[in-house]
Structure formats: structure tokens, C-alpha cells
Structure 1
Amino acid sequence: MHKVTYVVITTLLFAVGFSSASADQSEKLEFASALEETLGHFHALELNLDENNAVLAMVHATHPIAELYDLMRPTLQESDPELDAKIQTTLMELRANTVNATREDAQMALDDARMIIEEARILIVGQDLSNDPMFKLALMKTLLETSAAEYAEAVENGTINEMAEFQDGSAFVWRSQQIFEEIKGDLPEDASMEINDLYSTLWQAYDERADPSDVETLVGGLVAEIDEITGVESVMRGPETYFENIVSLLNQVKEQYANGMSEEALSLATKAYLDNYEFLEGPIAKHDTKLMEEIEVMLRQELRNMINEGVSSDKIDSHVDAIVEKLHEAAMLIGAEHEHKEQEYKEQEQQDMSPLQQVEFGIEPEDVVCDSGMELIIKTGNSSPACVKSETAERLIQLGWGTRPQ
């Protein structure tokens, strides 16, 4: 259900002023993203408690411990085993302390859980980086892109088919907007107004159960605004990238598990699902819903259960091989291999710069070059360039967000 992440970590780290993207810095961004999604689930849990919806409250109470904790656990254990145990206990007991408690006691439990999450943030990410507006913009971007994937899984033909995923999407939009409210005073006024307007339109789309493509368009507009502020162009992942990431992570699962590193293997398996497969569920389901669900069960449930149960390495290897075989079948269905070939044909040097960097280099906005699969539009109001997906450009133009260069 989550998920997501969403962009190339090293690119985002460059955006917050790092001269190089070390493994430690990458972990901080990944860790902070998991914390933000956890806070999103807390918000959804809170809303369902207010509505006396125990079933959905239970979903959001269990999601952080069932999935997100596995992403955070290796870093927590390495940094502070005592805090790791504290967070694990808090998340494990969240369901009992909220769903099965009075509303007042549930709120106290949620407030305590939020305090522990902030404690982890300060320990792992640090106060300075946590407060950096550029770092917060990167977190907003991750939450927004994940929200679009959740919405696409939840809504079809104006109807919510998966309420938990719909609430995930709206909770992540909410959390991203909370972060925006914290930093909007540090952003250019015109960009802040644009972002605020796009959020209003995005919430309207949620209220109207708009087509997922429209929600993706609005999220694309928000991401473009963030990119303009940070000066970093989005690295738009095609399906082939997610397939490649999953296979790479699963190979690492094999290696780590064979070496007795079961916790690391579990974290890698969780990343394969949350950070990658969730973004493939919609595209695969368009061709074969049964195959999509089969891979989801094999990857999200069965593999993680096998690791937790301590089965033999041979069984893990066989199961991973079976998942990879299914993934290959899915990749052929959605034509990821063809898309991968197209993605390889990119222009050099100028195309490696973001639109803002090209303008600063002396290139006129209408002459900015975008990556393959991206289209240049000129923002209405300040005439600055932005590169967006081709299918997104037309809808942004219809919304009055920008125009094509003359």
C-alpha cells in the first residue's frame, strides 16, 4: 500500500546542498521518508477513530509495524538499539492502544508515538538537516509521488475500490502539505502561491474522485514547482527502472540471507515492495490483475514471512527466482523492455542540466532541452521553464498552469 519513493536519492541529496551523496546521507533521506509515511498513517488512524471505523483504523494502526518499521530497523539498531526497541514496542502496541482503547487514551498513545518518531528523526537525520527547507521539499516530493500511486490503485471510473489505499494517498498529500506549511515562508512568494493553488485543486480532485491521470497531472505540477525551487529536474522512472530495482534488491536478499543477515534481507525485501513494486501494480493490473496480485502476495507476504520464519537459504533462493520469473512475465506485458531502449537515447551535457540550470547557463527558456519522454512548457506568470511528462503537459496547459513555447 505505500510507498513510495519515488526519485533518485543522490539527485535529491544534491538539491539540499551536498557535494557528494554518501551512503549515510542516502540513508537519512530514506529514513526520513519512512518517518513521514508513518506520520501519514497516524493521521489516517486518527480520522478513522473519529469516525468510529475500527476496521480501517486497524489497517493504519498495523501498517507502520507491518511494513515501514522493517525499512527503519537496520539504521535504528546500528545507531541506538534501545531506541529501536522502544519504537518497535510502540508500533507493535499501537493497535491495542488505539483501536481497542477509549478515544482519549488512543489520542494519548498517538501523541506519544509521534514524540518517539521525532526522537528518531533527531537521532538519525539530525536537527539541522531536518529543518533544511530543501530537504523538506525532497520529502514533500516523495510523499506526493507516493500519494499518486496509492490513488491510482484506489480509484477507477469515479469509484473508490480500495478505501485503505485511498486513505493512504490522501494522508500522504496531507502530510506533504503540513511540511509545506512549515517552510512556505522560506520559499519564493510566487512559487508558494502556485503550490498552494495546486494543493487546493488536488484536494478538489480527491473530493470528486477524479480520474487517476488527472491526479497524476496535479502531482506532476507540484513536483515541477518543487524542482524549480531546488534547481533539480525530476528523474522520471519508467516501469523498467522499477523492475530492475526489484531484481537487484532480490539478489541482495539472497546474498544477505545466505550470510545470516536476516534483518538486512527483510529490509531489502520490504524496499523491493514498498519503494518499487507498488508503482508497478497499476500498470500490471491493466493487463493482468491476477498476475499483479500473485506477485504482490509472493513479494509482500510470502517472502517476508519466509525470512521471519528462518527457512533455508535454498527455499529463499527458489522463491526469489519464482518472483523474478513472474516479474519478467509482467515486464513483457507492459512493454518495459521497449521503454528501456527508448530511455537510453538521451542528449548529453545540456540535457543533463535542470531547466533552471540551463537558464542560468544562458539558454533562453524556450530553448531548454528536456530528457526523453519529457516536454517543455513555460509557466504562466513568471515565464520560467519546466520539464514534465508529455502526457502531463497537455493537461497542465488545459489547467492554465503553463503554455508550450512559441
Structure 2
Amino acid sequence: MIRRASFIFLGLALSSAALAAPKDSVKFAVTLEQMRGHYDASLLNYRNGDLTMAAKHAKHPANELYAAVRGDLTPALQQKFLADYARINQTLAARKPYAEYQKVMNTFYADVDAALATLGTTRNDPKFAAQVIAQILENAEHEYEEGVQGGKVTNLAEYQDAIYYVARARTWFDRSARSFPQHQRDETAAALRDAAAVIARKGDVKALEKAIDQAREELAEISGVEQAAKSSNATYFANIDRLLAAAKGHYAGGMLDDAEEALIDAYLENFEYLESPLAKKDQALETKLEKTLREDLRALLKSKPSAPKFNAAVDAALTDLKKARALLGE
């Protein structure tokens, strides 16, 4: 009977993992690695005594990124992630010794590995790994553009994100390199070294772009997925309009999680790429829109307002986005 119960439990566990198959496996893995990158940066700042910056990095995984993967996690992993976030924040707030902060982080990292394990054999597919590495590097390039101007760090958090995103990409590369064809492996390794060197010396963003484009070209050869052209500002604005409209529709239909995911995508996958050019035209408008799309609409959503109230807030954001579009000539 004990063995029979064990097999039943195992079967349930495997079924649970199967049910958690992500809608977009690459996005799922990349988002989890972004979480790790933020927490790696938080650990560095905590060890160095900069608790303000440690807290800034620590808030992103729970406050922004979790919503993007929540629906792809098993119920058990959802509970573990939420418990991990709570422990991390409590340890940070209590200013516990660094060793304790690192310990709670390591627990979260183990749960991230468990989440990645739900991908099954996909996780070990070199073509999949190449796509994940390429996307992490693209995110690193964007963070660097936001964090460094003229050889000087203008936004420390974004600069540190770039450092640790490249480090996470390197971890995936080292884990998968043996499965890559030698030429692409060598060229990608060289490009990764060049990217890290540019970031370390706070070099010109064009130099980083060149290194990352080289890496992504080689990774595209491995994955067989053609490197996508960078989206235009017009495309980002169109995506935001579509996602905000979807958020209103989901909310009206009582699908709060789907509405929140649409809001997250509007900000993380689109508006973030408009922040820098918009700030150069109108810093106040950029700051207002960032807060609206990143925090205010989601906070309102969680308060469960009437549909007309939620729609009115979204429409106000769309009005500001129309102003931003005009400023950027779109």
C-alpha cells in the first residue's frame, strides 16, 4: 500500500508539472532569469551596505515579474514563490546579517530551478537555450542604454541590471556550450566577453550593441530562429494600445489575472523601450507614464474598482500616451 500511494503521489506531481507547461517557454525562462538577476544585484548591494539599492532591486521580482509567470507555475510553486518573496523582504527590512539574506535568496533560486524543471527536456535543448540567451542579452542591452550615458552611470539600478543579465546569459551559455557547433560557440563566447568588457568600462552603447548583435546572430544560427528586427517606437505604442484595450476587456469579463498580465506586458515589453527617448523630450510626462503603467493601474486593478472607474483610468493613460506619441513623431 505504501508503494502504491507513492506511485499515486508521483503521478499527481508529474501531472501537476505537465499542467504548468508555459504558454511561451522562452519568455518564461527569461523572466525567471530576470528575477535572478535582480536578486543577484540586490545581494551585491546588501553585502556592500547599500540597503536602499538592495531594496530597489528586490522589489522587481515580486512586484512586476511574478505576474508574468504566475499562470505558468504549478499551485505549489506559486505558494513557494510568494513565501520566498515574503522571507526576502522580511530579511531585508530587518537588516539581518548578509549570510541570512543570501540563505533566503538561495531558497528562492532553488525554487526557480524547480520552475525551470517543469520545462522538461525543452530546458536542455540547445536551440531553446540559444533563444533564451539571445533574449536575456537583448534585455541587458536595453538596461545599459537606460543606465549609462557618455561613459558615466546615470542610473545605477539599470547599470547593475545590465551587468547581472549578461552574467545570467553567460551561465546559460556555459551550461549549453558543449551542445553548440564549435564555430558558433567560439564566436558567441567572444561576443559575450566583449559585451562584459564594454559594460565594465562603461563604454559606448554602440560598442555594446555591436557585441550583443554579434552574439545574437550566432545564437540565431544555433536556434534556427531568425533574429527579429528591433521594434520601432510606433510598434511599441501600438502594442501598448492593444494591451490596454485587452486589459479593459479582461477586467470587464472578471479575468483579473489576465488583465494584470496585459498591464505588465504593456509596461515591461513595450513602454520600457520608450522611456529613454521620451525622457529626452518630456521628463515629466515620461515619469508620469512610467508610474501609471508600472504601478498605478495595477494597484487600482487589485482594489477591484467598478469597470467604468478602471476604464477611465486606462483611458487617461491612453490620452497621455497619445501626447507621448506626438512628441516622438509617431
Shared fold per TM-score greater than 0.5: yes
Helix, strand or coil at the partner of 1:93: helix
Kindly provide the amino acid, as one letter, of the partner of residue 310 in structure 1: K
Task: Indicate the residue corresponding to 1:130 in structure 2.
Answer: 123
How far has the Cα of 1:25 moved from its partner?
5.8
CA change 1:137–1:242 in 2 (3 A) is same
Question: Is the Cα–Cα contact under 8 Å of residues 202 and 219 in structure 1 kept in the other structure?
Answer: yes
Do residues 179 (structure 1) and 176 (structure 2) align?
A: no
CA change 1:118–1:138 in 2 (3 A) is same
Aligned mate of 2:266, from 265, 269, 272: 272
Question: Is the Cα–Cα contact under 8 Å of residues 188 and 218 in structure 2 kept in the other structure?
Answer: yes
Q: Which moved more, 1:85-94 or 1:161-170?
A: 85-94
Task: Indicate the residue corresponding to 1:115 in structure 2.
Answer: 110
Q: Which runs of 4+ in 1 moved over 3 A?
A: none
1:268-324 CA-partner distances (Å, limit 9, x unpaired): 111111111111112222322222112111111110110111122112111111222
* C-alpha separation in 2, matches of 1:105 and 1:240: 46
Helix, strand or coil at the partner of 1:286: helix
* C-alpha separation in 2, matches of 1:207 and 1:74: 36
Do residues 104 (structure 1) and 99 (structure 2) align?
A: yes
Question: Is the Cα–Cα contact under 8 Å of residues 295 and 326 in structure 1 kept in the other structure?
Answer: yes
* C-alpha separation in 2, matches of 1:91 and 1:229: 35
Question: Is the Cα–Cα contact under 8 Å of residues 202 and 218 in structure 1 kept in the other structure?
Answer: yes
Question: Is the Cα–Cα contact under 8 Å of residues 98 and 110 in structure 1 kept in the other structure?
Answer: no
How far has the Cα of 1:143 moved from its partner?
0.8
Residues 22-41 of structure 1 correspond to what in structure 2 (within 5 A)?
26-41=23-38
CA change 1:286–1:218 in 2 (3 A) is farther
* C-alpha separation in 2, matches of 1:27 and 1:205: 31
Q: Which runs of 5+ in 1 are unaligned?
A: 1-23, 337-406
Kindly provide the amino acid, as one letter, of the partner of residue 301 in structure 1: E
Normalised by the length of structure 1, the TM-score is: 0.72
Q: Percent identity over the alignment?
A: 30
Alignment root-mean-square deviation, CA: 1.7
Helix, strand or coil at the partner of 2:24: helix
Do residues 50 (structure 1) and 44 (structure 2) align?
A: no
* C-alpha separation in 2, matches of 1:72 and 1:213: 32
Do residues 303 (structure 1) and 297 (structure 2) align?
A: yes
Do residues 157 (structure 1) and 154 (structure 2) align?
A: no
Task: Indicate the residue corresponding to 1:234 in structure 2.
Answer: 227
Task: Indicate the residue corresponding to 1:255 in structure 2.
Answer: 249
Q: Which runs of 5+ in 2 are unaligned?
A: 1-20
Question: How many corresponding residue pairs?
Answer: 308
Question: Is the Cα–Cα contact under 8 Å of residues 129 and 135 in structure 1 kept in the other structure?
Answer: yes
Question: Is the Cα–Cα contact under 8 Å of residues 126 and 176 in structure 2 kept in the other structure?
Answer: yes
How far has the Cα of 1:83 moved from its partner?
2.3
Question: Is the Cα–Cα contact under 8 Å of residues 131 and 220 in structure 2 kept in the other structure?
Answer: no
* C-alpha separation in 1, matches of 2:22 and 2:264: 20
* C-alpha separation in 2, matches of 1:97 and 1:115: 18
Do residues 209 (structure 1) and 202 (structure 2) align?
A: yes
Residues 2-401 of structure 1 correspond to what in structure 2 (within 5 A)?
26-76=23-73, 80-98=74-92, 100-123=95-118, 126-236=119-229, 237-336=231-330
Question: Is the Cα–Cα contact under 8 Å of residues 126 and 222 in structure 2 kept in the other structure?
Answer: no
More helix by share: 2
Question: Is the Cα–Cα contact under 8 Å of residues 295 and 327 in structure 1 kept in the other structure?
Answer: yes
Normalised by the length of structure 2, the TM-score is: 0.88
State the structure with bigger RCO (CA 8 A, min sep 6), 1 or 2.
1
Question: Is the Cα–Cα contact under 8 Å of residues 254 and 316 in structure 1 kept in the other structure?
Answer: yes
Question: Is the Cα–Cα contact under 8 Å of residues 133 and 172 in structure 2 kept in the other structure?
Answer: yes
Task: Indicate the residue corresponding to 1:366 in structure 2.
Answer: none
How far has the Cα of 1:98 moved from its partner?
4.6
* C-alpha separation in 2, matches of 1:135 and 1:335: 37
Question: Is the Cα–Cα contact under 8 Å of residues 242 and 276 in structure 1 kept in the other structure?
Answer: yes
1:180-207 CA-partner distances (Å, limit 9, x unpaired): 1111111122222211221222122112
* C-alpha separation in 2, matches of 1:290 and 1:158: 25
Question: Is the Cα–Cα contact under 8 Å of residues 128 and 223 in structure 2 kept in the other structure?
Answer: no
